[in-house]
Amino acid sequence: MQNSLHSSFVKHGVLGLILLATAGVASAHRPWMLPTSTIVETKEAWVTIDGAVSEGLFDFDHMPLRMDGVTVTAPDGTTAAGPAAVTGKLRSSIDLPLPKEGTYRIALVSTNVMGSYKVGEDVKRFRGSEADFAKQLPAGAQDVRKTVTHQRIETFVTAHKTNDAALKPTNAGLEMVPLTHPNDLRANETMRVRFLLDGKPLPNLPFSLVPGGVRYRGVAGEIRLTTDAKGEASFKLPAANMYWMNAAYPPNPGKGPAPDNGPAESKRYAYTATLEALPE
Amino acid sequence: MKLSPSLALTLPLISGGAVAADLSVKFELPQLNVAEYHKPYVAMWIEKADGAVASTLAVLYDVKKKDNAGEKWVKDMRTWWRKAGRETTLPIDGVSGATRAAGTHTLSFGPAKTGIDKLPAGDYKLVIEAAREAGGRELVRVPFSLPAKGKVAATANGKEELGAVSINIQ
């Protein structure tokens, strides 16, 4: 009950922080969803997915990821709202049954606005959903500026055998299309991906992968890559681990709302996935 | 059906020609000093140059366990399971067999099982994978080339779950 009363307020606060976290390349706070297992082969298949915004990957060291808007795309390609999340102090969790054989895509997709406008001489700032921004904008507001950020945070889980129906792109925002099945990644085997922006291949896009367990290594071990002319990249992950994949478009947008002398409206996109590479 | 140690005898070399086709694999399961020891599950197969499985030779697990409960851990032989196991139905006639105790064992396979006499010329590997409940998992690959004109002998060594592995084709 308390959750639902506060959810709208908290959601905006958390999403705002996530935006700050992902928009700036140098920021250490990363949002992610971490499945307990990426391939489940038990008779009654379930997976628990933890969500957090953290400094260390994949440590619960900062704050939970608000998982209210999670959607689950089933192996038959249908997308539905995910189960209710339990939100703790440092992480949130959902328990997800996997009744169908095949691959599930768990995604948290959001569109958020950072904006400012002038009422007379007063400059007002806004952070929240696009609909709320339109609603709150008073008549006669001037110098309206807004930055709309479309963000996708996702992960993939397979019950028994992989399939591809859930991997089809939605053609909205920044997306990674796995050309190698995301639940069949092995250390030292070639993985291929394609990045799309609103359904179109995105060439020369920098993206990176960071292996989990930074706290035990002391070094981030970030792998920096760039898509080719076709928006694709192929690479090998050096060791078995959970990897945090991240890309942003435009690649270096800077922080905070658009500058006062900038365009009235700008768009940003952020993509994050948790991928597991297993040993051979 | 359990894998008979005398299988090689029941599948004599039919061709009688110069092409070597009988394969024997000698492998060591090390005696491990660990708190909880279970006999390892072992899979053995012939791998093509591209990593695909040409033929599965043996899958050793607890075949006698009630309600095929032993199959639960067969997937812990992750590499074999990924490349062949999940597409097959257990038990595999003449391939499934009981686990072995620590020590050195030899399994022999005729051409009907290995298909060696029908494989195109090229580089292959005999792969043996051992996985132990509450323990580790290890693969050992022994490379060899076909066609084997005359006798082939090759060896490789494991570090943890497997000891020396040697193969003979004649």
User: Which tokens in the block code for residue A240?
Assistant: 């078995």
Optimal mutation site among B82, B90, B138, interface A, most CBs of chain A within 10 A: B82
Q: Which of A160, A184, A280 sits opposite B79 (nearest CB)?
A: A280
Calpha distance B146→B157 (Å, rounded):
22
Calpha distance B154→B166 (Å, rounded):
6
Output the tens digit of pLDDT for each of chain A's 280 residues.
344 434 444 444 444 444 444 443 334 689 999 999 999 999 899 999 999 999 999 999 999 999 999 999 999 999 999 999 999 999 999 999 999 999 999 999 999 999 999 998 899 999 998 888 888 888 889 899 999 999 999 999 999 999 999 999 999 999 999 999 999 999 999 999 999 999 999 999 999 999 999 999 988 999 999 999 999 999 999 999 999 999 999 987 566 655 666 678 899 999 999 999 999 8
| Residue range B39-89, pLDDT digits in tens | 999 999 999 999 999 999 999 998 888 888 888 889 999 999 999 998 888
Q: Which of A161, A278, A280 sits opposite B86 (nearest CB)?
A: A161
What pLDDT is stored for residue A130 in this prediction? 85
What's the full length of chain A, in residues?
280
What pLDDT is stored for residue A192 in this prediction? 98
* Closest C-alpha to B169, from B144, B135, B140, B137: B144
Residues 130 to 169 of A: which have CB under 8 A from any B CB? 160-161
- Strand, helix or coil at A126? strand
What pLDDT is stored for residue B18 in this prediction? 56
Q: Which residues are CB-neighbours of A63 under 8 A, at least 6 positions away?
A: A14, A17, A52, A53, A90
Calpha distance A57→A276 (Å, rounded):
13
Query: Within 13 A of A30's CA, how many CA atoms are on the CB side?
Result: 30
* Residues of chain B predicted below pLDDT 50: 1, 6-16
pTM (predicted TM-score): 0.82
Q: Which of B75, B86, B139 sits opposite A280 (nearest CB)?
A: B139
Q: Mind giving me the DSSP string for B139-161?
A: EEEEEEEES-BS-EEEEEE-SSS
Calpha distance B30→A66 (Å, rounded):
50
Show residues of chain B in contact with A161, CB under 8 Å: 86
Return the C-alpha torsion angle A179, A183, A184, A186, nearest 10: 110
Calpha distance A195→A43 (Å, rounded):
35
Calpha distance A188→A195 (Å, rounded):
22
